[in-house]
Amino acid sequence: MNHREFHSLGRNVSEVGLGTWQLGGAEWGDVPENQAIETLQAAAESGVTFIDTADIYGSGRSETLIGKFLSNRTDREAFTVVTKFGRGSDPGWPDNFKHENLVAHAEDSIRRLGVDALDLTQTHCVPSEYLDDGSVWETMRSLVKQGKIKSFGASVESMDEAVECLNVDGLGSLQIIFNVFRQKPIDDLFAKAAEKQVALIVRLPLASGLLAGKFSAESTFGEKDHRSFNADGDAFNVGETFAGLGLEKGTQLADLLKKYVPDNATMAQWALRWCLDFPEVTTVIPGATRSEQAVSNAAASDLESLPESVHAELREFYKEQVEPFVRGKY
């Protein structure tokens, strides 16, 4: 496993991390506790030291399970766990972004994760009125001063929001959607983020599994799985499900990419390698529902970079065949 520098934390993190929305047991269907803990352990044994979670994932379940996992490790200092707040139910959106609620929610995450201070917490897609008036960032800086968080970042939906957040004093990271189907950050964000030494955390690197090449237009998902109920954005930002392409278009495009996958890699590993070939990316956080996925994803770090010619072809592919079909805030 290779590592990259996370400047605001003054430490290196594994370039393949683990996304744990799945471990909440909601929006992806049930993930039993033993399966969740095994997934965390398998990721750790594969060299993963970076874990992304949020207070809303399973209403605290994901954080609680990570806390349990950490409490059983003698090397817990090796892990960087980043969480998010702002989308929970008490008092709910958008009042969660008021100072007193952010403070209370940071304290809740500290308790669930069983840590003295959060390594980093991210605003979970902050509403524009709070983004514009700057009060959220005042709270973040005061949490750092109080020692409740070591650093803070923003998880954003659009590149405009990402670029706006780069002007925030003290911002340590941006979490963005980035994958072969969502290449806008390359032109709009990467150089600016690198200049400011703001870490880029890549979510949806597999476009909700589309880029594992395992779905067809006829694939079905459980009732509780967001790929059933949010494929057209009926519950939240459509970009968070299948990168905003929908299942039919997404599988059609994924099929066109299969010819690029080398013999020594799975399509998911290849898709992760594509993200990692950009030095501006700090870490990718593929979500996993099972330990085998976490192990396989971690191995993408050891693959060779893709040839320049393939990168060039995939830029063209994106511009001509994908970009016109991406829906949602972007």
Ligand X SMILES: NC(=O)c1ccc[n+]([C@@H]2O[C@H](COP(=O)([O-])OP(=O)(O)OC[C@H]3O[C@@H](n4cnc5c(N)ncnc54)[C@H](OP(=O)(O)O)[C@@H]3O)[C@@H](O)[C@H]2O)c1
What residues line the site for ligand X (CB under 6 A)? 19-22, 28, 52, 84, 124-125, 155, 175, 203-209, 212, 214, 240, 268, 285-289, 293, 296-297
Nearest to 236 by CA among 324, 157, 151, 133: 157
Choice between 101 and 289, CB closer to ligand X: 289
Quote the least distance from Cβ 57 to ligand X, whole Å: 7
Quote the least distance from Cβ 249 to ligand X, whole Å: 16
Quote the least distance from Cβ 286 to ligand X, whole Å: 4
DSSP state of 288: -
Choice between 26 and 146, CB closer to ligand X: 26
| Cβ atoms 160, 123 nearer than 8 A | no
Choice between 214 and 311, CB closer to ligand X: 214
Nearest to 311 by CA among 278, 266, 279, 263: 278
Choice between 109 and 155, CB closer to ligand X: 155
Quote the least distance from Cβ 256 to ligand X, whole Å: 18
Contacts within 8 Å (CB) and 24+ apart, 237-241: 237/125, 237/157, 237/328, 237/329, 238/327, 238/328, 239/157, 239/177, 239/182, 239/326, 239/327, 239/328, 239/329, 239/330, 240/177, 240/204, 240/208, 241/208
Choice between 137 and 181, CB closer to ligand X: 181
Quote the least distance from Cβ 284 to ligand X, whole Å: 8
